[in-house]
Amino acid sequence: MANLETTKFYIMGKIQNFSITSLRVEEDFGFQLRILKYCEYLPKENDGSPEDGASSVLTVAMEKFTGSLQKFDVTLKESHIVSGVKKAADSNILRNKWWRCSNNYVNDMCFHPDTSVAEIAKECKAIFDKYGNPTNLSQTQESGILHNLFQDIEKLTTEKLEKIHFTEWFAAMKQSEQDFLNAVDERAAQEGIRQTGIIQEARDAADTAYRLLISTVNLLAEIGDPQPYADFINSVNALIARQKTVLKIRETNSKREEGTDIENPGGGSGSGSDNPGYEPILPPEDDNNEGEEPETPGGGSTEEPGGSSTGGNTEEPETPGGGEEEEDNPSGPGIPNP
């Protein structure tokens, strides 16, 4: 656990370097929402009565940051609306329906008055019973069971299936499974594009605008009177210190779960907490932070887009994780790095 006595809080001077690329996607968005809140402390170019420290360069940097963050927000919200998700869920419901109907039909045919028909139906029903009801299992497990079920039913020969009038039912079962697999492929492709394409582009633009804002404030504070930027600098540095602590503890917990020998990041013994899932105690915020934690990203629900409770089985895609922490040089285009 982090040693609070050794946590550094930088007062005035400049905003410290921090690699926001080390944050997870929505964690990055939440971090930048706090920066947007702290922009209220920066001097503004009011009509006719500009505040001390206000400048057109700072105004442009704030406008770019605000605009990029808004686009990041909209992209996150839209990313949770993937057409392939609903299509896969609907296809899953349909294939479950066809399995139940087919199973019930074969069961009823076992009592057919023609004993030769009943005997074939019993053979088919034995195959259904062999694999059990797959509709309450995971989607991939159900697909595996249906694949084996279809292979065994096909061994009964077309003649037998026609005699119990099961040919149409069997064809509908196979088609519903194929439709589901096609929908899953479409869903995976859309989610891949969502994660690696549109969202990444919006995040990169927001990150670039953040670096431009930070480097602009640092430059203005260095070449002029730093006092007008003091509240913003102090608030951002406190937020960065807190986020670095979270990342350090996350790294420590990850290594502990992997069984790696590590040192306690707080400077104590390497044993750490008895509970590997303990919540970090973060440094207290200064008054400018108003005691608020970084907001939950406004980019929509935190539920995974691939999940659906409809149809009896779901699978959840993995949550994208952040990369390793590296220090960014927060210099923006056209702004020299102080």
> Mind listing the pLDDT tens digit for each residue in 246-283?
999 988 888 887 765 544 444 443 434 333 333 444 44
**pLDDT of amino acid 60:** 95
- Domain assignment present for 225: yes
- For residue range 60-110, list pLDDT tens digits in order: 999 999 999 999 998 888 766 566 667 888 889 999 999 999 999 999 999
Please report, for the chain, how many H helices and E strands are present, in that order: 9, 0
With pLDDT > 70 as the criterion, what percentage of the chain qualifies? 67
Provide the domain count of the chain: 1
Q: Which domain holds residue 62?
A: 4-82+198-289
pLDDT attached to residue 84: 65
pLDDT level of residue 229 (50, 70, 90 thresholds): very high
The answer to whether 289 and 235 are in contact (CB under 8 A) is yes
pLDDT at 83: 61
Give the DSSP letter string of 233-269: HHHHHHHHHHHHHHHHHHHHHHHHHTT-----TTSS-
- Tell me if 14 sits within 8 A of 233, measured CB to CB: yes
Quick: pLDDT tens for 277-324.
334 444 445 444 444 444 444 444 434 444 444 444 544 444 444 444
Overall residue count recorded for the chain in this entry: 338
Tell me the pLDDT of the chain averaged across its residues: 77
pLDDT at 183 over 50: yes
- CA nearest neighbour of 71 among 242, 203, 222: 203
Q: Flag whether 294 is in a domain.
A: no
pLDDT of residue 326: 46
List the Cα angle 251/253/256 in 5-degree steps. 110
Q: Residue 320: inside a domain, yes or no?
A: no
Report d(CA 28, CA 20) in Å as an integer: 6
CA separation for the pair 63, 117 (Å, rounded): 77
| Position 140 in a domain | no
Cα distance between residue 248 and residue 1, in whole Å: 9
Asked if the structure places residue 251 within a domain, the reply is yes
CA distance 157 to 320: 47
What is the per-residue pLDDT across 124-159, written as a single tens digit (0 to 9) for each?
A: 999 999 999 999 888 889 999 999 999 999 999 899
132 inside domain: no
Contacts of 245 (CB under 8 A, 6+ apart): 2, 7, 280, 282, 283
Amino acid 206: pLDDT: 96
